[in-house]
């Protein structure tokens, strides 16, 4: 049985992944942005899930969540599911928060980062990026950055399985009711990468879509770009990976 954190698990893909992991017998930690959203996790906490609360647009809240988790039984895996589609929270939530959790959490040997095929339209440039969310950020850029983060963690931490997953455009609150992809398939790959002992799941540095490993944006495996991204995030947050 693994101990697995699923961020952004009050609804949508995060909720589906948390429910499936609980059903499989894992020790699951679920996360909500605030107390109101945490109330929606009552059913999962009743089934044994630990609940952590923190607004990932706030770096101090991310650090508090990391401190709370580091004070308890170590995590085996993290599914970095929390994300926003638009607005000033895009960069803080979609890339700064998973970066900080990756730097701060002790123990996880499997890391799964939620990407999107939108990352293919992202710009591999860090010039003018507003990491603090003073202005609206580019969703495509944020997903390129987090996909690159997954790849650089795989390179720098050889003992860790680090992968990025495109769940598809699914009918969640973010995706909208007309989204064409399967909600059921949307969570399965990240659940599998976080917990399975299948040999194919025990690989690292991949970009996945519905159980298939695909080629990401060419910048994702550009080590010079990876290093620039890490330096920028470390300087911005005061926390090195």
pLDDT, tens digit, 9 for 90 and up, residues 139-158: 999 999 999 999 999 999 99
Question: Catalytic pick from 99, 113, 143, 209?
Answer: 143
CB 57 within 8 A of CB 50: no
Arithmetic mean of pLDDT, 170-175: 55
Arithmetic mean of pLDDT, 113-125: 98
Confidence label for 174 from pLDDT (cuts 50, 70 and 90): low
Q: Show the domain range for 158.
A: 3-237
Query: Is the predicted pLDDT of residue 181 greater than 90, yes or no?
Result: no
Arithmetic mean of pLDDT, 191-215: 97
Task: Report the phi/psi class of residue 192: left, alpha or beta, with left for phi > 0 and alpha for psi in -120 to 50.
Answer: alpha
Q: What are phi and psi of 91, to 5 degrees?
A: -70, -45
What letter does residue 138 receive in the DSSP assignment? P
207 in active site: no
Gap between the Cα atoms of 122 and 147, Å rounded: 11
Rounded to a whole number of angstroms, the distance between the first and last alpha carbons of the chain is 27
Residue 185: the pLDDT is 81
Q: Average per-residue pLDDT in the chain?
A: 94
Question: Catalytic pick from 99, 139, 207, 209?
Answer: 139
Residue 178: the pLDDT is 56
Arithmetic mean of pLDDT, 37-65: 96
99 in active site: no
Gap between the Cα atoms of 232 and 216, Å rounded: 22
The CATH number that applies at residue 103 is 3.40.50.720
Residue 106 has a CB neighbour count (10 Å cut-off) of 9
CB 56 within 8 A of CB 34: no
Query: Is the predicted pLDDT of residue 65 greater than 80, yes or no?
Result: yes
Arithmetic mean of pLDDT, 227-236: 98
Number of domains in the chain: 1
Closest CA to 26 of 147, 151, 110, 150: 110
Q: Which residues contact 142 (CB under 8 A, 6 or more apart)?
A: 90, 91, 94, 95, 122
Gap between the Cα atoms of 123 and 140, Å rounded: 8
């Amino acid at each position: 049985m693994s101990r697995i954190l699923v961020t952004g698990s009050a609804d949508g893909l995060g909720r589906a992944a948390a429910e499936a992991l609980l059903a499989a017998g894992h020790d699951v930690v679920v996360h909500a942005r605030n107390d109101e959203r945490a109330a929606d996790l009552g059913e999962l906490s009743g089934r044994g899930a630990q609940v952590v609360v923190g607004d990932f647009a706030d770096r101090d809240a991310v650090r508090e969540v990391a401190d709370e988790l580091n004070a308890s039984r170590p995590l085996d895996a993290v599914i970095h599911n929390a994300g926003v589609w638009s607005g000033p929270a895009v960069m803080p939530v979609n890339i700064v928060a998973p970066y900080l959790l990756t730097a701060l959490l002790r123990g996880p040997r499997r890391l799964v980062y939620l990407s999107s095929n939108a990352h293919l339209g992202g710009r591999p440039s860090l010039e003018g990026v507003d990491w603090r969310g003073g202005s609206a950020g580019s969703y495509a850029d944020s997903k390129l950055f987090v996909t690159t983060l997954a790849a650089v963690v795989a390179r720098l931490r050889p003992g860790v399985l680090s992968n990025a997953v495109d769940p598809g455009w699914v009918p969640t609150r973010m995706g909208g009711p007309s989204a064409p992809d399967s909600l059921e398939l949307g969570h399965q790959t990240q659940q599998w990468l976080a917990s399975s002992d299948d040999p194919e799941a025990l690989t690292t540095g991949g970009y996945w879509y519905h159980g298939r490993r695909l080629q990401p944006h060419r910048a994702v495996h550009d080590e010079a770009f990876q290093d620039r991204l890490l330096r920028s995030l470390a300087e911005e947050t005061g926390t090195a990976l």
